[in-house]
């Protein structure tokens, strides 16, 4: 691709998505020691996803906010209410009283490839004059966030600069389609940012619109993938399943007899080799269903029926 062609595609992509990028202004009111009120204002970004006034942003943007204002690309400033939020995926859905909004075109995050050009668009640093744009590539796919045990679906890693204020803004391909929602940056690293894939954001958005929260099935185990170093230490075959590191007391797995040291190999008819496969397998069944777990213990193949339970709020990092 010639440089002039790349430049043309970048500018066209920005022009396509910019009308759908909004600024979010939050205010968290509280009281000081003597009772006098004080406020903590902040700015972030949201993406219009529905013509009838729905936008998505990050949950950490709206958490604890007492006042929310959305500034649309046409200059209108509207109060916003939170339809629902999900801490696990850091996604929130907002509603403003407006219609015929310029909804962003959503792309196919499942088709992303490492090395593909992407743009991070958002109201970086809350600077006036509209959203800013940074160009980078998809650095990796299905990434866990460093320092976290669990990220739903896995994140898109990019080296497109994501700065304070970009939170909740779109990650865009060169066609102008949104392929992710920017969510985090590693402050001690250079060029390491993360976005929630748009296919995951769409599913979470649908649940938040329907019930204001996300219901996840839970069995109550903490697991580790059998990567070669860990597998060698334990004398197990790399990639042969998921090591159960801990079982939550009185959880469904505990009542079914699952123990620390067991190796999970299947959920119902679905093989399990990675955390993502476990989460996707569990998600195939409704809360309350009895699910057959296949596992190995000291080389023996065993099974147990486990009743799925709704994940407790405090157990967001457990399966």
Structurally, at CATH architecture level, domain 109-198 sits in Beta Barrel (2.40)
- Reading the block at residue 78, the tokens are 């509207």
Q: Is pLDDT at 146 greater than 60 in this prediction?
A: no
Provide the CATH number for the domain formed by 13-96 in this structure. 2.40.10.10
Least reliable range by pLDDT among 96-100, 154-158, 235-239: 235-239
Residue 242 sits at φ, ψ, to 5 deg, of: -120, 125
Q: Is pLDDT at 125 greater than 70 in this prediction?
A: yes
Question: What pLDDT is recorded for position 235?
Answer: 81
The whole-number average pLDDT for the span 216-241 is 86
> 319: pLDDT confidence band, cut at 50, 70 and 90?
low
> 186: pLDDT confidence band, cut at 50, 70 and 90?
confident
Mean pLDDT score across all residues of the chain: 89
Whole-angstrom Cα distance, residue 32 to residue 279? 43
Alpha-carbon 104 to chain mean position: 18
Whole-angstrom Cα distance, residue 169 to residue 46? 5
- Identical topology for domains 13-96 and 109-198: yes
Whole-angstrom Cα distance, residue 242 to residue 226? 6
Q: Is pLDDT at 223 greater than 60 in this prediction?
A: yes
Q: What percent of the chain has pLDDT over 70?
A: 92
CB of 300 within 8 A of CB of 247?
Answer: no
- pTM equals 0.81
109, 139, 167, 251: which one is catalytic? Answer: 167
Residue located via tokens 């992509």: 13
199 annotated active-site = no
173 annotated active-site = no
50, 60, 73, 254: which one is catalytic? Answer: 60
- Reading the block at residue 70, the tokens are 């959305």
Task: Give the CA angle between residues 145, 151, 153 to the nearest 5°.
Answer: 120
> 32: pLDDT confidence band, cut at 50, 70 and 90?
low
Q: Is pLDDT at 152 greater than 80 in this prediction?
A: no
Q: Is pLDDT at 150 greater than 50 in this prediction?
A: no
254 annotated active-site = no
86, 90, 173, 262: which one is catalytic? Answer: 90
Q: Tell me the domain boundaries of the chain.
A: 13-96, 109-198, 217-315
Question: What pLDDT is recorded for position 238?
Answer: 85
> 33: pLDDT confidence band, cut at 50, 70 and 90?
low
Structurally, at CATH architecture level, domain 217-315 sits in Roll (2.30)
- Reading the block at residue 13, the tokens are 């992509």
Q: Is pLDDT at 314 greater than 60 in this prediction?
A: no
Residue 121 burial (10 A CB sphere; 0-12, 13-18, 19+): buried
């Amino acid at each position: 691709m010639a440089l002039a062609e790349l430049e043309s595609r970048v500018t066209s992509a920005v022009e396509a998505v910019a009308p759908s990028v909004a600024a979010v202004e939050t205010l968290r009111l509280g009281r000081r020691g003597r009772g006098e009120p004080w406020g903590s204002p902040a700015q972030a970004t949201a993406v219009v996803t529905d013509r009838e006034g729905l936008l998505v942003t990050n949950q950490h943007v709206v958490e604890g906010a007492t006042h929310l204002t959305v500034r649309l690309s046409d200059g209108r400033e509207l109060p916003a209410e939170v339809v629902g939020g999900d801490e696990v995926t850091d996604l929130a859905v907002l509603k403003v009283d407006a219609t015929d909004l310029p909804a962003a075109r959503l792309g196919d995050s499942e088709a992303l490839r490492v090395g593909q050009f992407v743009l991070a668009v958002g109201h970086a640093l809350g600077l006036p004059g509209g959203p800013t744009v940074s160009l980078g590539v998809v650095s990796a796919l299905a990434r866990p966030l460093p320092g976290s045990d669990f990220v739903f679906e896995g994140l898109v890693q990019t080296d497109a600069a994501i700065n304070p204020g970009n939170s909740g803004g779109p990650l865009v391909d060169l066609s102008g389609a949104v392929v992710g929602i920017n969510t985090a940056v590693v402050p001690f690293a250079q060029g390491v940012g993360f976005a929630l894939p748009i296919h995951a954001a769409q599913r979470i958005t649908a649940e938040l619109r329907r019930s204001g929260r996300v219901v996840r099935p839970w069995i109550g185990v903490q697991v580790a993938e059998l990567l070669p170093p860990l597998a060698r230490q334990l004398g197990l075959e790399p990639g042969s399943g998921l090591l159960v590191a801990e079982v939550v007391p009185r959880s469904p797995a505990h009542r079914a007899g699952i123990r620390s040291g067991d190796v999970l190999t299947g959920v119902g008819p679905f093989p399990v080799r990675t955390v993502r496969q476990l989460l996707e397998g569990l998600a195939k069944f409704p809360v309350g269903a009895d699910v057959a777990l296949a596992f190995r213990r000291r080389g023996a193949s065993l099974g147990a029926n486990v009743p799925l339970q709704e994940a407790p709020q405090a157990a967001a990092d457990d399966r």
